[in-house]
Chain A
Amino acid sequence: MPIDHDPPTAIVLDIQRASLHDGPGLRTTVFLKGCPLRCQWCHNPESIDPNPVTVTTAKGEPKTYGQRITVADVMAIIIKDKAFYQNSGGGLTISGGEPMLAFAFTHALATTARREGIHVALDTTGFGNANQWRQMLDVVDLFLFDYKATGETLHRELTGFPAAPLLQSLRFLSDHGANIILRCPIIPGLNDTTEHFAAIRQLRQTHAGIIDVNLMPYHDVARYKYDELQQPYPLANTSIPTPDQIQAWQHAITPPPDPNA
């Protein structure tokens, strides 16, 4: 059977309804499996492998992460909360992993949701080419765009992936009218540097599409997932930031008030 005629499918890790944390309003967040990055602090290590993964939980029970489903299957769930989206300014968020890895699925899902009048957000590392972004611009209302480390070397070290193509994506989206919220995980000892905060401020000033910046302070609740996956937890010695620290970070990424304003 020609591949083109198959309905797009993807390995879906999870579908979270009534989510308050993945964009505005009440949202349904669809997490897809597969990610090209290897961030040291990854909170969803079970999402990295593009295929379903079966692990043994702390209770000794088997548990499988990931299930192949179609756009129609996902839409059937998303559509059920339409009234909640409308009353709260919410919608659909496609997240991952990196949803652009499953571009055909992600694009088809966003297109279908848009057709239903549902607000679509895409949570992305920025992995994708201009042709793909051009198509996504037509069907995505809001990009939740990660910015993780400043400097090519450090970015590669912390995420296992070059920074340049991701920044190119950011530039492209911003220049083509996208609404972008920059999402910045801040990990004590790894990227809580003056240079990084300055870069965030600068990105804000040089990318008209960035409407907001969200700091995402490090936490270690995902630690148990590494045990399940029988992987060492990379940040075993990293401390959880204090509220004062977080406030200082927040201050550091906020541009000084415009003297001419």
Chain B
Amino acid sequence: MFSDTDSKAQDIRLLNLAVQFTEAYQASADMPKAQRELHLIQGLYPDLLLPPLEDDRFAGRALRPISGFSNQAFPEGDQADTVGFFFDEVRANRLIREHNLHDTELGQQIRACADYWRSECTDSKIVARMDAPMHQALPSLLFEIDSAVSHRLHRIASTGLDYAYLLDNGIPALKQQFADQAEQLKDSDPAGEDFRHGCVAFMELLDRVLAHYAQTLGEATAATENLTRRHALNTMATSVAALRQRPPQTFFEAIQLVHLFTLVGLYCNNFGRMDEYLGPYLQRDLNAGRITQEQATEMLVAYWWLLNEHYNNSRMTLGGIGRRNPEAADTFCRVALEATRRFYAKHTPRTRHMGFALCPQVALRISSETPADIRAQALAVQATGATYPLMYNDDVNVPAVAKAFRISEKLAAEYGGFDCGEYVMDKYSIGTPSAIIALPKALEVALHNGIDPRTGKQLGPATGNVESLDSFDKLWQAYDQQVTFATEQSARFQKLLFDVVSEHAAFVAMSMLQPDSRATHRGILEGGSSMLGGTYETYGNITAADCLFAIRKFVFEEHNISLADLVPHLDNNFKDAPELKQQLKALPKFGNDHDEADAMAIRVHDHICNLTRDQADKVGLHHYLVVVINNGANVILGHHANASADARGNGEPFSNGNTPSSGNDTHGLTAMLNSIVKLTPDTHAGAVHNIRFSKKTIDEHRPMVTALLDTYFSQGGTQYMLTVTSREELLEAQAHPENYGHLLVRVGGFSSRFVELPADIQQEIINRNAY
């Protein structure tokens, strides 16, 4: 969310702010939590704010604090995400070291802060409340480093926010409204008082931020000689000044307000149905002749740049049914698609968390109402290699989401692919992932009596030695028990995380932008959100299915080898049995429209999706659903697993989203798409499917590509992301990375420059079939 800095003065300012923040936290323990949260955030501003950079068109940049409050913070180095109040000890230590501050008073203060936060940060409070089964099932946060079946995540991401409410009302009116409510309801609803005061305080904070920019930008305008830049700075200065007085009136002001609210209020990367809330402003400006389409496009290119700079994997959803003003929203879609094309043709966005992020990620929902020109434009943008927009199929998804989330189709029509691809109902729901699971690892552990062969740790229940698994049913039972154990604990952990975090924080800014929270005057975690739920990220589903199919057929039906004899070959990576690997490789695999192989994928899919869905009621969540995403974790988690019965080698990647394992789809794209649509969409919160076309195919056979994708959707396809590239191009790019900085490659839920990816992930992309 915040920019890094190298300057010593800034670093010292940040260290001092961390000390101040810590002291304020310690001194405010008796304050009600919403007011305390705002009191502490207010202490960081305006110190964290930075002036716009040379090319910025909107005001709003900030430093990343060392200690602060967030629904999802990204500390430095190998540390995992954190939630709530945090202190980035690694970063603080680095700055102390770099600036030689060990023996200074500041150095001592920072050490004291680090000591304090180690037990006081919200993360530690969550861990302290985990019980033994949770610890066993979810031993680590660091899935990049530690081998496990399931890893937990500390974050409250994937929250749908009602930006239209912010824009419709504007800051002065909202501040007044919250203050009036605080006064009127203090006797009748004392429990909501803290929340209402928190809302008022947040509006005051936002006003202070606007005032800061109004003043500093006014000064900067006066000091700037370049007329173009002067004009740009003046536009920002007058806009932020105006937003202190009234709601936004123009497209520019609306973007400016959304940006500053998000920058200051929360770590939010989910901008929801942006065409819904920005479309009307754009349409009005165009109708009135205030701006041209070209100017609007350039504005969005500049905004995309800020999103890329400030948020990890920011994303938005365009299109789809259920929009209040579809015509204006479609106008926004057209401009946003063109901005997306230009943005990815022009910028080399920084690569960050896990090395894959390119943002914003733009998703387009397609329905029978979508104008034909928008569909064609979307494919044209994808054909440039931008990899966006990601495409979602309303005809299938709206009823599927309604069923999976147990909500009306009207509410389901608000769905969008958030965070890594999990569906969240815009404005209404929270669907943050609490944990991830590697299904092939669960199978591996089942083949070793609950023990991780890599570490010797007992990761799950003892489900029997491999010799005792003398039928496929018994193997399936062992697998089921391993997966069930991890899934149950993950759901319990999700609830625990909400409960513990809720004891310390109200998430005022997020809560005020959810209608349910606003209506009840409760934070989203304390009853404010009517759709407080979670997701379980599953990886390698198809790998697990291919392995189970191979074992059933090769071991238990054809009796080529016993299971007890097979497992040692897996553990030593087929070292003494290359023929065995070939035989396993030759067995049918998912993704070829092969009914038997696909049936196993359906079984694995239904098993994990239903099992996860059924946890919600047990632990007291609105929903708890699988999300079959991919963000490169399939590659990373593959590192932690031995060779597998699908002929995957030791440490090699797992399958990607709900698409076949690399190189296993050998029967053409129609066969792959037919396989994919066999997996039911109405039991989970989203699944990701990567489809690749060569540049040649997409350029020379555009009508055929269109027909293919349309047919896939009409046959029940839910989603696709499209990568355009050629194998030759990729090989050439490996050899000469300096010439291929432009080559964008989609890696599951994320995207990146091909040349910036690690070698093994490059190889994985090359191995995937290109059509």
Contacts and interface: CB of A to CB of B under 8 A. Distances in A.
Interface of A: 15-20, 25-26, 28, 61, 77, 80-81, 83-84, 86-90
A18 B670 contact: yes
Contacts of A90: 707
A16 B668 contact: yes
Contact of A26 (B593, B674, B707, B714): B707
A88 B701 CA distance: 11
Contacts of B711: 26, 83-84, 86-88
A17 B707 contact: no
B671 interface: yes
B668 A17 contact: yes
A88 B708 contact: yes
14 contacts: A15-B667, A17-B669, A17-B671, A19-B668, A20-B701, A25-B704, A26-B670, A26-B708, A61-B582, A80-B670, A81-B670, A83-B711, A83-B714, A87-B710
Contacts of A28: 670
A18 B715 contact: no
| Among B593, B670, B715: residue with most chain A CB under 10 A | B670
A84 B708 contact: yes
Contacts of A18: 668-671, 708, 771
B426 to A, nearest CB: 31
Given A25-B707, A26-B707, A84 B582 contact: no
Contacts of A89: 707
Interface string B654-683: 000000000000011111001000000000
A200 B674 CA distance: 41
Contacts of B701: 20
Contacts of A77: 593
A86 B711 CA distance: 9
A82 B715 CA distance: 11
Contact of B704 (A15, A16, A20, A83): A20
A19 B697 CA distance: 11
B704 A88 contact: yes
B714 A87 contact: yes
B714 A80 contact: no
Interface string B700-737: 01011001101100110000000000000000000000
A26 B582 contact: no
Residue among A16, A26, A61, A84 with the highest chain B CB neighbour number at 10 A = A84
Nearest to B667: A17
B224 to A, nearest CB: 52
Which of B582, B669, B701, B704: most chain A CB closer than 10 A?
B704
A89 B771 CA distance: 19
A104 to B, nearest CB: 26
Contact of B671 (A80, A83, A87): A80
Contacts of A25: 704, 707
B674 A81 contact: yes
B593 A80 contact: yes
Interface string B246-268: 00000000000000000000000
A60 to B, nearest CB: 11
B704 A26 contact: yes
A16 B666 CA distance: 9
A84 B670 contact: yes
Contacts of B593: 17, 77, 80
Contacts, number: 54
B565 to A, nearest CB: 23
Given A61-B582, A84-B708, 10 more contacts: A16-B668, A17-B669, A18-B668, A18-B708, A19-B668, A28-B670, A84-B707, A87-B707, A87-B710, A88-B708
Nearest to B703: A88
A221 to B, nearest CB: 12
Nearest to A62: B582
Nearest to B579: A61
Contacts of B715: 83
A215 B707 CA distance: 25
Contacts of A16: 668
B602 to A, nearest CB: 16
A87 B715 CA distance: 11
A26 B704 CA distance: 7
A242 B571 CA distance: 52
Contacts of B671: 17-18, 80-81
A216 to B, nearest CB: 15
**Among A19, A61, A80, A86, which residue has the most Cβ atoms of chain B within 10 A?**
A80
Nearest to A24: B704
Contacts of B582: 61
Contacts of B670: 17-18, 26, 28, 80-81, 84
A-B interface, 8 closest residue pairs, ranked by CB to CB distance from nearest: A17-B668, A88-B707, A18-B668, A18-B670, A18-B669, A87-B711, A81-B670, A87-B707
Contacts of B667: 15, 17
A136 B667 CA distance: 28
B338 to A, nearest CB: 27
A259 B518 CA distance: 78
A20 B707 contact: no
Nearest to A81: B670
A241 to B, nearest CB: 17
A80 B711 CA distance: 12
A92 to B, nearest CB: 13
A17 B711 CA distance: 14
A68 to B, nearest CB: 19
A90 B714 CA distance: 17
Contacts of A83: 711, 714-715
A84 to B, nearest CB: 5
A19 B668 CA distance: 8
B647 to A, nearest CB: 13
Contacts of A19: 668
A26 B710 CA distance: 12
Contacts of B674: 80-81
A86 B670 CA distance: 13
Contacts of B703: 88
Contacts of B714: 83, 87
A118 B643 CA distance: 43
B11 to A, nearest CB: 56
A26 B670 CA distance: 9
Nearest to A16: B668
Contacts of A80: 593, 670-671, 674
A88 B705 CA distance: 9
A20 B668 contact: no
Nearest to B582: A61
Of residues A15, A26, A28, A77, which shows the largest number of chain B Cβ atoms within 10 Å of its Cβ? A26
A86 B710 CA distance: 11
A25 B703 CA distance: 9
A88 B715 CA distance: 14
A20 B710 contact: no
A209 B671 CA distance: 34
A17 B665 CA distance: 11
Nearest to A86: B711
A90 B705 CA distance: 12
A90 B711 CA distance: 12
